[in-house]
Amino acid sequence: MDTDVAYPQNESLVHHSPLGIDSLIYGYLLIFISVFILTINGVLLFVIYSSKYLRRRQNAFVVSMAISDILNGFVEGPFIAHLTLKRPHHLMPQACPLVFSVNYCTKASISFSLMALSIERCVAVSLPLKYNSLVTNSSCAISIVLIWIISAFFTALPLLQDSFIYDEEKLKCQFEGHTHRYTTDAIILFIVFSRILPMFVILICMSTTLNKARSRFKFSTIIAAVPFAAIPVAYPLNLKKITIKALRSLLHLSIIFSVLTIVCCVSGIGRIIRKDDFPPVYEMILEFVSLSYYFITPVIILIFNKQYQNRIVSLFCKRCRGTNRVEQDPSPQHT
């Protein structure tokens, strides 16, 4: 179940044998997904680290998302698999709060990091002459620090006045309070400010970026036919690369992220209204939707971004390094 939208009275982290599937199959499937999350994000980090052309300012937000994915890959899936396979009657008191905190914090940091990346691309296309002064190493570093601080803040809110404990009878983690209004309000606040608000900002930025990129590319094409080179040269960006095709990885990622966010937020609001858990079938779907947050970013980037593809090919094919090498470009690269 997606823990970040769970109703506080019955915040479950696991349902045994959903859909009638044997608990062993369900548990090992969760482990497989966790291993995939760690592997695909590890590949993404290695590709960025090993290529000097990909170690650029905007990719710091991609690294932030990958770190969030890896942190959750070590915690959420293995923990639920442990409850499913072992069915322990006792857990350390810190186990449930730790999993809850990691789950909430990483999802919030992914939302804010993707929002920051969308804003950065919007600035790059809309204000190309001011890009280098607005987007600097210092501003990116400060943004990432603020992202993690704000994520930790919203994560801590539900735990300030309520306890997230392990129920030995139900074999699941849940909030101790049964009518605690503060916990409900804290979870709603988390959903609105760390999930819904970033989603709207991302969609607005992507719409603005695509419109500006389309018009700017047409403008640069017209100018290229006129014997005046001053205007195109004045732009610090390679205008031909700032197109819909160049931004397709971020566009696909934004769309999929928005769909997943809507599903989780609607289910969270439904749980608050119902004041009860969903049927096991839906709970299992929510759990896989929750885990999909942590591998969708590297999958989309590695599929649609040519720079990352070329770097992976060059790492495993020595003969391809000369032909598939990403040429150095002083302008900010797309994501």
Specify if 182 maps to a domain: yes
Question: How far apart are alpha carbons 264 and 176 in whole angstroms?
Answer: 23
In the chain, what percentage of residues exceed pLDDT 90? 26
Range of the domain at 79: 3-320
Question: How far apart are alpha carbons 229 and 222 in whole angstroms?
Answer: 12
Q: For 62-68, what is the mean pLDDT? A: 94
Specify if 332 maps to a domain: no
The pLDDT, as a whole number, for residue 193 is 92
Please, is 295 exposed, middle or buried when counting C-beta atoms within 10 Å of its C-beta (0-12, 13-18, 19+)?
buried
Specify if 327 maps to a domain: no
Q: Are strands 164-167 and 172-175 parallel, antiparallel or unpaired?
A: antiparallel
pLDDT of residue 168 exceeding 90: no
Specify if 260 maps to a domain: yes
Specify if 334 maps to a domain: no
CATH, residue 153:
1.20.1070.10
Specify if 326 maps to a domain: no
Question: How far apart are alpha carbons 305 and 178 in whole angstroms?
Answer: 48
The pLDDT, as a whole number, for residue 228 is 38
In the predicted model, what is the mean pLDDT of the chain?
Answer: 77
**113-150 per-position pLDDT tens digit:** 999 999 998 888 888 888 888 889 899 999 999 999 99
What is the number of structural domains in the chain? Answer: 1
Specify if 335 maps to a domain: no
In a 13 Å sphere around the CA of 71, the CA atoms on its Cβ side amount to 20
Question: How far apart are alpha carbons 307 and 51 in whole angstroms?
Answer: 10
pLDDT of residue 44 exceeding 50: yes
Which of 158-167, 174-183, 207-216, 263-272 comes out lowest in average pLDDT?
174-183
Specify if 32 maps to a domain: yes
